[in-house]
Amino acid sequence: MDEEGKSRYEEFLEWKKQNIPSPPQPSRITVSEIAFSWPDMRGTFTLSLDGVALEDRFPLSYQMNGRVEFFPPLIHSPLCLPITVSAVELDRETSAAVQRAIDRIFPVIRAFGRHKGGKIVGYNSSLKSRVINRAEFEAMQAAIDSKELLVDEMVEKE
């Protein structure tokens, strides 16, 4: 990297330090206000740390492995640099607690690949065809769609 590039990157790091929150590790997290598009198999949720909601909503979506994963909200560098960063930095233990909460909410569906009877699941497969336990899935879908679902999870200290 040339000197100008190093200078701009250092400027970005300083901006990031001043503008990207890195909250202290909470003792508990809460996942709430889930907005989920079932046909698209993705949505967003509000994350609270020790009862304080973060400003940005967190995206989540079903993945190829049949599980829902969450991602940090992203922002682009305002300094005309080709850099995208998390809008909030969560530590490893907090992120793990959020994923455990998500796992408790969303049932696992069939992963991509060939299944018993030769059924192939891929990008064009409908959500309905990927459901494993219809009763469990419909119960959680109703709970999520009610917009009243709150899931707390303790953060395990290392």
Query: Looking at residue 1, what is its pLDDT?
Result: 65
User: What are the angstrom distances between the C-alpha of 4 and each of 10, 14, 39, 125?
Assistant: 10, 15, 47, 49
What per-residue confidence (pLDDT) applies to 101?
Answer: 97
DSSP one-letter code for 24: P
pLDDT at 112: 93
Q: Per-residue pLDDT tens for 79-128?
A: 777 888 899 999 999 999 999 999 999 999 999 999 888 888 888 888 88
User: Do strands 151-154 and 120-121 pair parallel, antiparallel, or not at all (unpaired)?
Assistant: unpaired
Asked whether the beta carbons of 151 and 140 are under 8 A apart, the reply is no
Spatial distance between the Cα atoms of 47 and 55, rounded to a whole number of angstroms: 9
Q: Structure tokens of 98?
A: 């959020």
pLDDT at 153 over 80: yes
Q: Tell me, what's the pLDDT at 25?
A: 95
Closest by CA position to 110, among listed 137, 134, 132, 133? 132
Q: pLDDT of 34-89, one tens digit each?
A: 999 999 999 999 999 999 999 999 999 999 999 999 999 998 878 777 888 899 99
Domain boundaries, given as residue ranges, for the chain:
3-154
**What amino acid occupies position 90?**
L
**pLDDT bracket for residue 135 (50, 70, 90):** very high
Average pLDDT over residues 13-34: 92
